[in-house]
Structure 1
Amino acid sequence: MRRILIIAPNWIGDAVMSQPLLAQLHKNYPAAQIDVLASKWVAPIYRACHEVHEVLEADLQHRQLQWNLRKKLAKQIEVSQYEACFVLPNSLKSALIPWLANIPFRIAYRGEMRFGLINLALNNPSKINRPPMVEHYLALASALETADQAPHFETVTPELQVPVNANTKVLKKLQDEGIAPEAIYILCPGAEYGPSKRWPTGHFAKLAQDLISKNPATHVILLGSKADHSLAKSIETQAQYNPHIHNWCGETTLDEAIALISLSKALVSNDSGLMHIGAALQVPQVAIFGSSDPHHTPPLSAKAKVIWLQLPCSPCHQRECPLGHLNCLNHILPENVLLSVESLH
């Protein structure tokens, strides 16, 4: 095997959890070049994976066919003569490019009527009996092996490297703001999936204030995408615009966010992509779960603590609380999260 292509998933957390698959493929085929086709949104994750030779960044949009763009990309990819392609999303459209590019082995889970587009298919596990996502992706590595060749997979954790250029930019930004790198905590109030995964902004505000009151040298950075800026603004307001609380949501690239998280004394987040980045960087962290299941998408790090109340109604996997009370998150109190943060050191 000389050249392998990966079709990346659409979510940051899923991209992080696919890194052990890359590591296993690199182990199985040490002479192979592993490239990744990824949207601009998740491409920085793969630039932080040392197994990846090249990231092919494309303007692929979620839930859009973009037929002409996919045909164009397929023509470009066909020239590289990839021998195998691992398609990580379950959608029909994600399987089109390797099929159009005539890649001989197209490996993925069965899904969304893509018979023929995928020619080495694994059965998709039921939603009731889903394995952790890392194991789900990792199992694809055995698709090219015979039964007696299939390697044994041990439990592995994702690993990311901090981009050097991003680290330099982040250190300069901290210096310009008068923030000592060793004195920052990162709070991530967002979660793309919906409100049922977001710890209340009032709780984040109280936690930020408590962290600063414990040590006046502390600075709290609110980190996330542009979509999270309003959540962070609410935290600032409820914390009475404490000058040691900084709303940087939407003000950093994902590469810079990786660098910032790597510097933090601790990360506190919802079940989100940034949570998985923190775990892959082995940063001390507290991960707050509400409607989702920490058994399926946990932060895979010995330095992570998970807070989940395990209420009878949780996990419901709904975007908004179907019962209207959001007790799974409202009842996780700031003082309890603070105790967990303090126990990390």
Structure 2
Amino acid sequence: MKTLIIGPSWVGDMVMSQSLYKRLKDHHPDALIDVLAPAWCKPILERMPEVNRAIEMPVGHGQFSLSERWNLGRSLREEHYDHAYVLPNSAKSALIPLFANIPKRTGWKGEFRFGLLNDLRPDRKVFQYMVERYVALAHSKKTMLSEVNIQSVSNPSLEVDKGNQTACLQRFGISSQSPLVGLCPGAEFGPAKRWPDGHYTTIAKQLIEEGNQICLFGGPKDKPVTNSIRNALSDSQKSMCFDLAGETALVDAVDLLAACHTVFSNDSGLMHVAAAVGANIVAIYGSSSPKYTPPLSHCVKMVNTDIDCRPCFKRECPLGHLNCLNDLAPQQVMAAYKELNLSAQSEKQ
């Protein structure tokens, strides 16, 4: 069984897709699973033991580039794949398996995919969660509803490189002897997912007073946010806070998140990475909802306000007030953290 996956283009979705690979391996232990995805995904895919090979997608997200897709598809014909699974919903994402002459091509009904996919699933909304929709593709149309539910899904579990983790801690001067908490205050999707910097600062101060070190995670675009949080700390507090935004490769962030006993995060890709490496998660929701893409872990507390206008799933607040985030008090988030720690301690006992 030789399988090609057309992978998603977002960090969180790529992490969640591992649950599909696990289910495919359950069905066919000797299956070879190759994943076609953007170059940045390679470090994530290399931490998934189910994946045989990550193939770089030469076409940027949102670009059509028919000739490049044709050339890539033709080059993949020599791989003689038996089956393709197309995870994005666009028509262009289904072209490469067709051009590669892959005999069975499975995916959900999307934009103009009739003929491109020959195992077309009609309505992905029969499943509530994104991860269920991925895993359902490993089953037939007839059995997927009875065999797939969120309780039966294997959570993503990225491998951690302990050697690289130690090297990264040493590089940034982070002590391995003091407890470490991660804060992920950015959100690529937009400001309607970002809990205010000042609220994160309040959390950071309290955690440091309790003896924790703080790591601020994010990409280069998140640097103004993480700078704002760290600059609001006292000099002594700053010595316990490490701003890593834009300073780490994604693979390093994977290993450093695994060093954190707890991660506070907006609904973002790093939240899913942190869940997949075993950290306790305090997940903060604004415009989005945990009823669609929750962190897939048993050690999670999800917090949000209950105002009437959320979830709206908008990038920016359509009403201009961001009350779903501004009104979510640090005290409420810290209460969730305390509950999470208590339940984790009781489980260990």
RMSD of aligned Cα (Å): 1.9
Give the one of 172, 184, 191 matched to 1:177: 172
Corresponding residue number in structure 2 for 1:131: 128
Give the one of 193, 207, 211 matched to 1:211: 207
Q: Check the 8 A contact 2:22/2:154 in 1, yes or no.
A: no
1:241-293: CA deviations, max 9, x gaps?
Answer: 62222111111111111111111021000001111112222211100001001
Correspondence 1:109 to 2:108 = yes
Q: What is the CA-CA distance between 1:237 and the residue it aligns to?
A: 2.2
Q: Check the 8 A contact 1:206/1:239 in 2, yes or no.
A: no
Extract unaligned runs of 5+ from structure 1. Answer: none
Q: Go from structure 1 to structure 2 and tell me whether the alpha carbon gap of 1:176 and 1:252 turns closer, same or farther (over 3 Å shift).
A: closer
Q: Check the 8 A contact 2:160/2:258 in 1, yes or no.
A: no
Correspondences of 1:49-60 after superposition (within 5 Å): 49-60=48-59
1:38-97: CA deviations, max 9, x gaps?
Answer: 112323222221111111123431111133332232122111000100000001111111
Q: Which moved more, 1:329-338 or 1:169-178?
A: 169-178
Q: Check the 8 A contact 1:275/1:299 in 2, yes or no.
A: yes
Corresponding residue number in structure 2 for 1:290: 286
Aligned with 2:138: secondary structure? Answer: helix
Give the one of 147, 155, 160 matched to 1:158: 155
Correspondences of 1:204-243 after superposition (within 5 Å): 204-215=200-211, 218-240=212-234, 242-243=238-239
Q: Check the 8 A contact 1:303/1:344 in 2, yes or no.
A: yes
**Matches of 2:143 and 2:318, distance apart in 1:** 48
**Matches of 1:240 and 1:60, distance apart in 2:** 46
Q: Which moved more, 1:232-241 or 1:6-15?
A: 232-241
Q: What is the CA-CA distance between 1:148 and the residue it aligns to?
A: 6.9
Q: Which moved more, 1:95-104 or 1:332-341?
A: 332-341
Correspondence 1:251 to 2:244 = no
Q: Given the two structures, how large is their TM-score scaled by the length of structure 2?
A: 0.91
Corresponding residue number in structure 2 for 1:140: 137
Corresponding residue number in structure 2 for 1:41: 40
Q: Check the 8 A contact 1:157/1:301 in 2, yes or no.
A: no
Aligned with 2:328: secondary structure? Answer: coil
Q: What is the CA-CA distance between 1:150 and the residue it aligns to?
A: 8.9
Aligned with 1:344: secondary structure? Answer: helix
- Amino-acid identity (%): 40
1:304-326: CA deviations, max 9, x gaps?
Answer: 10001122100001111111111
Amino acid at match of 1:248: L
Extract unaligned runs of 5+ from structure 2. Answer: 342-349
Q: Which moved more, 1:180-189 or 1:318-327?
A: 180-189
Corresponding residue number in structure 2 for 1:263: 259
Q: Given the two structures, how large is their TM-score scaled by the length of structure 1?
A: 0.92
Aligned with 1:142: secondary structure? Answer: coil
Amino acid at match of 1:169: N
Q: Check the 8 A contact 1:130/1:296 in 2, yes or no.
A: no
Aligned with 2:40: secondary structure? Answer: coil
Aligned with 1:320: secondary structure? Answer: coil
Q: What is the CA-CA distance between 1:210 and the residue it aligns to?
A: 1.1
Q: What is the CA-CA distance between 1:151 and the residue it aligns to?
A: 7.5
